[in-house]
C-alpha cells in the first residue's frame, strides 16, 4: 500500500513525497519577472516539506498572462530571474516545477484583491484572443484567433519550455484548465470554430496535443511533463468527464506523465459543495483513463484523508493550494500526524526532535 510520504518516480525523476504545492497566482510580478516575494514564498513551501513546488501560471506570451502582474517567460531575459526561484525550491529540498500557461479570453484582468476586473489599455491591459469571439461573461469580447496566431502560441509554449528548463525546473506542467486558452479550445461552449481546431473532439483537442508535443520535445526525455485539465465545465452542453477521459488517453500517448485533475472555470457554474467534489473525478480518471498517474486537488486540508486518497488508489499524488498558503509546513506537520518522517533539512534536523 503506497502512502502519502512515499516517493514517486516519473520518467527518470524521483519526487520525495506525494504532497505537492498546487500552482497559485500571486499577482506580484513585474514585467513577468519573479520578485523577492516569489523567492520567499516558494522557498518557504519547499522547506515546509512539499515534495514538489509548482510555480504559478506563467505566461508563455505577454498577452497570455492573466494579469499584468503575472509571471511570464516569453523572453530569454526571464531565464535568470526564474533560475533564482528554481534554485531556492531545490535548496529547500523540493522538486522545482513550473506551470506554463496562456490565459486566452480571461487575460488582462486586475489583481483579485482589488476586484479582479478587466484592465483597460490605459492601465496596462490588452486585447484578448480566444478560439472564437465569445466573451467570458462580464469580460470584453476576445478576437477569434487566426491559424497563424495559433501557430504562434504553439511556438511560444516550445520556447517557454526551453527557457524553463534552462532556468533549472525539473517538471513542466501544461495549463489546460480553468477556462484559459487551451481549455477554451477544448470546450464546445467557447470553441465554435469550423476549421481543423473546432468541431469534433479530435479537432478541439488538436491545439492541446500540438502544445504537449512541442513542450515534450523541448523538455528532457528523462524529465516529466504534467497536464492540468478541467475535468468538467459543470454546465449542460459543456466539457465533460467523458471528454476528459478520451483526451487524457491521447495526452498520455503524446508523452504526458501525470494528469492533474481540476475542474471548472470556463463559465460561471454551480459546483457541488462536498469535500470530494473534485477528488472523486480524479479517482474516476485513474480508474478509467488507462495507465496514467493522476493528481487529486481541491479542498484537501486533512492529512488522514490526503493519505487515504493515495492508499486507496484514488490518486497518485495530492496537490494542495490554500492549505499551503495557510501553513507552508503543512507537509511536515502531516508527516508527523501520520507517523511518517518530516522532510527536515539537515540544518534543522539535528536540532529538532522528530
Ligand atoms: C490564490 C489562488 C491562485 C490560483 N492560481 C492558479 C494557477 O496559477 N494555476 C492553476 O492551475 N490553478 C490555480 N489556482 C487553483 C489551485 O491550484 C487549486 O487547484 C485550487 O485552489 C483548489 O485547491 P485547494 O482547495 O487546495 O486550494 C489558484 C487558486 C488560488 C486560491
Residues near ligand 1 (Cβ within 6 A): 22-25, 56-57, 99, 175, 177-178, 228, 262, 297-300, 320-323
For the domain spanning 8-349, the CATH number is 3.20.20.70
> Is this model's pTM higher than 0.85 or not?
yes
Active site residues: 180
Protein residue with least CA distance to atom 22, ligand 1:
298
Atom of ligand 1 nearest to the CA of 173: 11
The yes-or-no verdict on residue 259 having pLDDT over 70 is yes
Q: Are 193 and 226 in contact (CB under 8 A)?
A: no
pLDDT (0 to 100) of residue 2: 76
Instruction: Determine the distance separating the centroid of ligand 1 and the alpha carbon of 272, expressed in angstroms.
Output: 17
pLDDT in tens, 180-231: 999 999 999 999 999 999 999 999 999 999 999 999 999 999 999 999 999 9
Residue 129 CA to ligand 1 centre (angstroms): 23
Per-domain residue ranges of the chain: 8-349
Q: If you average pLDDT over residues 275-297, what whole number do you get? A: 98
Per DSSP, which regions of the chain are E strands? Answer: 8-10, 13-15, 19-21, 52-59, 71-72, 95-101, 129-130, 143-144, 171-176, 225-230, 258-262, 294-297, 317-320
Using CA atoms, how far apart are residues 204 and 199, in angstroms rounded to an integer?
6
pLDDT tens digits, 323-346: 999 999 999 999 999 999 888 888
Q: How far apart are CA 293 and CA 57, in angstroms?
A: 21
Amino acid at each position: 500500500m503506497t502512502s502519502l510520504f512515499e516517493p514517486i518516480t516519473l520518467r527518470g525523476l524521483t519526487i520525495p513525497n506525494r504532497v505537492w504545492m498546487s500552482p497559485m497566482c500571486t499577482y506580484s510580478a513585474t514585467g513577468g519577472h519573479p520578485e523577492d516575494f516569489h523567492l520567499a514564498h516558494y522557498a518557504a513551501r519547499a522547506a515546509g516539506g512539499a515534495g514538489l513546488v509548482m510555480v504559478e501560471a506563467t505566461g508563455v506570451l505577454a498577452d497570455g498572462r492573466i494579469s499584468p502582474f503575472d509571471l511570464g517567460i516569453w523572453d530569454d531575459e526571464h531565464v535568470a530571474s526564474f533560475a533564482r526561484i528554481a534554485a531556492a525550491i531545490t535548496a529547500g529540498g523540493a522538486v522545482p516545477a513550473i506551470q506554463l500557461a496562456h490565459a486566452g479570453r480571461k487575460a488582462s484582468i486586475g489583481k483579485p484583491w482589488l476586484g479582479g476586473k478587466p484592465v483597460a489599455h490605459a492601465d496596462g491591459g490588452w486585447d484578448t484572443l480566444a478560439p472564437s469571439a465569445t466573451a467570458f461573461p462580464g469580460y470584453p469580447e476576445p478576437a477569434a484567433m487566426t491559424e497563424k496566431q495559433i501557430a504562434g502560441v504553439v511556438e511560444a509554449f516550445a520556447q517557454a519550455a526551453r527557457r524553463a528548463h534552462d532556468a533549472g525546473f525539473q517538471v513542466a506542467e501544461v495549463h489546460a484548465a480553468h477556462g484559459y486558452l487551451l481549455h477554451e479550445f477544448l470546450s464546445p461552449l467557447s470553441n465554435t470554430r469550423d476549421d481543423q481546431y473546432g468541431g469534433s473532439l479530435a479537432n478541439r483537442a488538436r491545439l492541446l496535443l500540438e502544445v504537449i508535443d512541442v513542450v515534450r520535445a523541448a523538455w528532457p526525455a528523462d524529465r516529466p511533463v504534467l497536464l492540468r485539465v478541467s475535468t468538467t465545465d459543470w454546465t449542460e452542453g459543456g466539457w465533460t468527464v467523458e471528454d476528459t477521459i478520451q483526451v487524457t488517453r491521447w495526452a498520455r500517448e503524446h508523452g504526458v506523465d501525470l494528469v492533474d485533475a481540476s475542474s471548472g472555470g470556463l463559465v460561471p457554474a454551480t459546483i457541488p459543495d462536498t469535500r470530494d467534489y473534485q477528488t472523486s473525478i480524479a479517482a474516476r480518471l485513474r480508474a478509467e483513463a488507462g495507465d496514467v498517474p493522476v493528481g487529486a486537488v481541491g479542498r484537501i486540508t486533512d492529512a488522514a484523508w490526503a493519505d487515504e486518497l493515495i492508499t486507496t488508489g484514488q490518486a497518485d499524488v495530492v496537490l494542495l493550494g490554500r492549505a499551503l498558503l495557510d501553513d507552508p509546513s503543512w507537509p511536515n506537520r502531516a508527516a508527523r500526524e501520520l507517523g511518517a518522517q518530516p522532510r527536515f533539512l539537515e540544518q534543522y534536523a539535528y536540532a529538532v526532535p522528530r
